[in-house]
């Protein structure tokens, strides 16, 4: 029994209508979020390459004297040393507020990462000597990538902008995946019918 040509034509019209709606959603979402996708894309590429940029974005981790933690100085004395090095080498007026302390047991080194200007002071965990002083440009790029730079600029400790920003971009990416698939599959389906 042959399919009714009227029903086949109606089905094709419905598929074409759905395809137009999907294309419009895809286009409008892309236009509204273009600049954000561009920022996330570029910053994501830079973050992926951060360890392969010859210390440009992220200082390499240097080795200390001993990996045996029994030989190490206390974190408190290393912290005091790092703060003094920051003041002496990077600027007396810089904030000494720490973002984090990164202990590398396999390297025998400790990194003190400061909030202001993304300074990093690497010390030998055993002797307290300076292994490296550098800027962590990758931390700034990461904050741009996830939107937390806006929360920092607004002095918001709750990270509300970051949550909204990443939610919108995540939902949009899922939406682009679905609509993009349909824009590829829909015409194939129409040709088959």
pLDDT digits (tens, 9 = 90+) for 161-171: 999 999 999 99
Scan for tokens 């590429």, then name that residue.
45
> What integer pLDDT is reported at residue 187 of this predicted model?
76
83 contacts: CB under 8 Å, gap ≥ 6: 96, 112
State the pLDDT at residue 122: 97
CA distances from 6 to 9, 109, 147 (A): 5, 76, 53
Model confidence pTM above 0.85: no
Token pair for residue 175?
């939406």
pLDDT, tens digit (0-9, with 9 covering 90-100), for 120-138: 999 999 999 999 999 999 9
**CB count in 10 Å sphere of residue 100:** 11
pLDDT at 5 over 90: no
| Domains of the chain, CATH where assigned | 5-50+154-192 (no CATH), 59-135 (3.10.450)
Distance CA 43, CA 28 (A): 23
> Which of 3-17, 55-69, 81-95, 175-189 shows the lowest mean pLDDT across its residues?
3-17
């Amino acid at each position: 029994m042959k399919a009714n040509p009227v029903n086949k034509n109606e089905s094709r019209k419905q598929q074409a209508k759905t395809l137009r709606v999907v294309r419009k959603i895809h286009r409008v979402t892309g236009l509204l979020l273009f600049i954000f996708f561009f920022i996330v894309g570029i910053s994501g590429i830079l973050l992926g390459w951060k360890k392969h940029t010859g210390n440009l974005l992220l200082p390499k981790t240097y080795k200390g004297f001993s990996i045996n933690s029994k030989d190490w100085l206390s974190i408190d004395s290393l912290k005091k040393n790092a703060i003094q090095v920051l003041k002496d080498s990077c600027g007396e007026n810089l904030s000494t507020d720490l973002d984090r302390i990164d202990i590398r047991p396999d390297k025998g080194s400790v990194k003190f990462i400061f909030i202001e200007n993304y300074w990093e002071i690497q010390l030998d965990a055993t002797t307290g000597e300076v292994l490296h002083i550098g800027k962590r440009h990758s931390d700034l790029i990461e904050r741009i990538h996830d939107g937390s730079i806006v929360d920092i600029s607004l002095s918001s400790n709750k990270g509300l902008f970051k949550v909204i920003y990443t939610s919108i971009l995540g939902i949009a990416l899922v939406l682009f995946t679905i609509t993009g698939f349909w824009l590829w599959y829909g015409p194939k389906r129409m040709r088959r019918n």
